């Protein structure tokens, strides 16, 4: 991955003006600011546009061009920021379980997240799990419920792996399983290519955009906009009827500028 990360530009993008130190309070503040300012979004795979994981390209897209991105872009950007500040960060890979029936075989590693080592404990850090974006670091400690501003999470040991679950209105829902083996950039390149091009995966057919504030979670799935309170409690749900409505929601709710005319985006989600 190319060098030349611009920390000042990133901090301005997420609206962070505090002192940056490699400590827990800074980590939490950066995490919350990132998911509020830079939404998870899957426009490029939906539009059949290639994903470039070079750090320069990621900065241009997510920092300079008012875009969001999916896990490989989001967590690569966040990792670069943390390392520039002085945090000790390890890139990890996960196997997504969100839509998998209980007991079904594990799929490939198609998710990127981070381990951040602090003096008191290691933390799981993930700003890029679309449909249930984490809003805070989680201590890498199993069998305890961890409450954040917008969710409740739990890590469980299962068959030698760690399982992350999120509390939802109907109970706990599995997010992904992972181990602590460091991933290579080539692992991410392959996973990203597969996730963004394979027609059996959601990104090529479903627009997914998500932004998390301190008290609301905004989720757009094709033409359905859902607003949630903590732990996935639905406050409001509405259907986008036309491209004008879509344009307004992208601008006002997610602050995203699509890379193509809005007509092309709406045509993809209207079939």
Mean pLDDT of the chain: 96
Q: Tell me whether residue 126 is one of the annotated catalytic residues.
A: yes
Q: Model confidence over 227-268: pLDDT tens digits?
A: 999 999 999 999 999 999 999 999 999 999 999 999 999 999
Q: Is the pLDDT of residue 102 over 90?
A: no
What DSSP string describes 65-120?
Answer: S---B-HHHHHHHHHHHHHHHT-EEEEEEEEE-TTPPTTPPP----EEEEEEE-SS
26, 80 Cβ separation under 8 angstroms: no
Mean pLDDT of 13-22: 96
Query: Which of 31, 34, 44, 111 is the catalytic position?
Result: 111
Distance of CA 158 to the CA centre of its chain: 23
58, 190 Cβ separation under 8 angstroms: no
Q: Please work out, in degrees rounded to the nearest 5, the angle formed at the alpha carbon of residue 135 by the alpha carbons of 158 and 26.
A: 110
pTM equals: 0.96
Q: Model confidence over 151-186: pLDDT tens digits?
A: 999 999 999 999 999 999 999 999 999 999 999 999
Tokens of 223: 């033409």
In DSSP terms, 178 is beta-bridged to 94, 162
In this prediction, residue 1 carries a pLDDT of: 41
Q: Tell me whether residue 44 is one of the annotated catalytic residues.
A: no
Mean pLDDT of 14-43: 97
Q: What is the dihedral of CA 127, 79, 179, 27, to 10 degrees?
A: -70
What domains, with CATH codes, occur in the chain? 7-269 (3.30.2140.20)
Strand-pair category, 161-168 with 152-158: antiparallel
Nearest to 115 by CA among 95, 91, 83: 91
Q: Model confidence over 65-98: pLDDT tens digits?
A: 989 999 999 999 999 999 999 999 999 999 999 9
In this prediction, residue 3 carries a pLDDT of: 58
pLDDT more than 90, % of the chain:
96
Q: Give the model's confidence band at 270: pLDDT under 50 very low, under 70 low, under 90 confident, else very high.
A: confident
Q: Tell me whether residue 23 is one of the annotated catalytic residues.
A: no
In this prediction, residue 2 carries a pLDDT of: 44
3-state secondary structure of 142: coil
Query: Which of 71, 135, 231, 252 is the catalytic position?
Result: 71
Q: Within 10 A of 241 (CB to CB), how many other CB atoms are there?
A: 9
Query: Which of 31, 34, 126, 132 is the catalytic position?
Result: 126
């Amino acid at each position: 991955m190319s060098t030349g990360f611009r920390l000042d530009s990133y901090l301005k993008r997420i609206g962070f003006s505090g002192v940056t130190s490699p400590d827990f309070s800074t980590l939490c503040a950066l995490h919350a600011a990132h998911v509020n300012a830079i939404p998870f979004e899957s426009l490029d795979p939906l539009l059949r546009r290639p994903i470039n994981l070079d750090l320069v390209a990621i900065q241009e897209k997510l920092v300079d061009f008012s875009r969001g991105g999916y896990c490989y872009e989001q967590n690569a950007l966040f990792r670069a920021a943390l390392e520039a500040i002085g945090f000790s960060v390890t890139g990890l890979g996960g196997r997504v379980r969100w839509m998998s029936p209980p007991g079904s075989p594990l799929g490939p590693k198609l998710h990127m997240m981070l381990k951040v080592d602090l003096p008191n404990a290691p933390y799981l850090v993930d700003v890029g799990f679309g449909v249930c974006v984490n809003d805070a670091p989680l201590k890498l400690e199993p069998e305890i419920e961890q409450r954040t501003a917008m969710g409740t999470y739990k890590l469980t040991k299962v068959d030698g792996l760690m399982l992350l679950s999120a509390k939802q209105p109907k109970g706990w829902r599995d997010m992904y399983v992972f181990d602590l083996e460091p991933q290579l950039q080539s692992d991410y390149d392959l996973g990203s290519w597969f996730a963004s091009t394979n027609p059996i995966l959601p990104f090529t057919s479903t627009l997914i955009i998500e932004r998390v504030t301190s008290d609301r979670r905004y989720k757009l799935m094709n033409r359905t906009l859902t607003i949630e309170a903590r732990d996935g409690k639905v406050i409001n749900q509405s259907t986008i009827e036309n491209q004008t409505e879509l344009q307004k929601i992208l601008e006002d709710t997610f602050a995203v500028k699509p890379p193509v005319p809005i007509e092309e985006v709406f045509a993809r989600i209207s079939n």
